[in-house]
Structure 1
Amino acid sequence: MSLLLTVLLAGILLALPHFRDVHADTATDGLATLREELLANPTSISGNWLRTLNPIVKDVQGDLVWNSTQQQGVLRIRDLPKPKAGQFYQLWLYDAQGNSADGISGGLLTQGVGSEELFMEINTATPVQEPYKFEFTLQSNQQETGQILLMVQP
């Protein structure tokens, strides 16, 4: 009886990581599909990341796509180190039709990512009609302005 319980427990423990991976893949599949749909739309703009000389982002790869008509976008990134305690990454969109030269937040990222791709939906509180620049910054809880790490200029 105890042998049967041990085998059953071992089987469950071996299967758990597989179920977690399936769940994680399902979550990113939706954003990967949205990204492909936006890229296929001729009114969307997109671009690859331009890296700064900051060694934090020397291996980072990815891109983003934005559609002003749908007010939707997806950021894709990989090889991004985990930020230190008290720091986070933030995406900024700059709108040529906006009332201010200040960026509009497109979302926060509090984790790093290894060689797997990470997809993040771009969400803005203010509509962005004519973006001319996207900046990906390293922010600190202690400072208002962040350090520019990556940029896309469509």
Structure 2
Amino acid sequence: MDMSRSGTSRQNWFIVSLLLMALLAGILLALPHLRDVHADTSADGMAELREQLLADPTSISGSWLRTLNPIVKDVQGDLVWNSTQQQGVLRIRDLPDPKAGHFYQLWLYDTHGNTTDGVSGGVLTQSIGSEEVFMPIKTDTPVQEPYKFEFKLQNDQNENGQILLMVQP
């Protein structure tokens, strides 16, 4: 009688083990698809957030003012920022890949800030292409009354960066 219980117990553990391995394999196969779905949802979420912020009368917004730098001759977009919510959305398209060792960075300048250096609002490290891309604007330091937003081409050696685009609300 003990032998049949032991055999049945082993059989049950074997079946449970096989089911768990099949479940794990299914999850691993589905994971890349789930990541794509999440990325699409967040892009839609940023577009939705942008619309909500634009509808809020306390938000400020503006279209990009381009410099004469040929890198940004075709760039289009805008941004919206809400000081009460301490969040915003940058919208941009037709931005080329930065050269090796370079990246794009958004800076916010606050009339109530303690520094004239600006507050980082986010970094882009790759090209945008012709697709419209939405990037969240998040700062580590609160920005109460921004008077200027600068989108700069930065590298590790040049802390100041090169201004490519600007919004002055």
Which residue of the partner structure matches residue 33 of structure 1? 48
Greater fraction helix: 2
- Aligned-partner Cα distance in 1 for 2:89–2:128: 16
Deviation at 1:27, TM superposition (A): 2.3
Tell me, what secondary structure is at the counterpart of 1:129?
coil
Larger Rg: 2
1:1-150 counterparts in 2 under 5 A? 24-150=39-165
TM-score (norm. length: structure 2): 0.77
Q: CA deviation at 1:23?
A: 5.0
| Local SS of the residue matching 1:115 | coil
Q: How far apart are residue 102 of structure 1 and its match?
A: 1.3
* Residue identity matched to 1:96: T
66-75 or 93-102: which moved more? 93-102
1:70 Cα deviation (Å)? 0.4
- Secondary structure class of the residue paired with 1:74: strand
135-144 or 53-62, which deviates more: 135-144
**2:166 aligned with 1:151:** yes
Structure 1: runs of 5 or more not aligned: 1-17
Say what the alpha-carbon RMSD is for the aligned residues: 1.7
Q: Which range is displaced more, 139-148 or 87-96?
A: 139-148
Equivalent pairs counted in the alignment come to 138
CA distance in 2, matches of 1:123, 1:29: 18
Question: Deviation at 1:24?
Answer: 3.9
Distance, in Å, in 2 between the alignment partners of 1:94 and 1:114 is 27
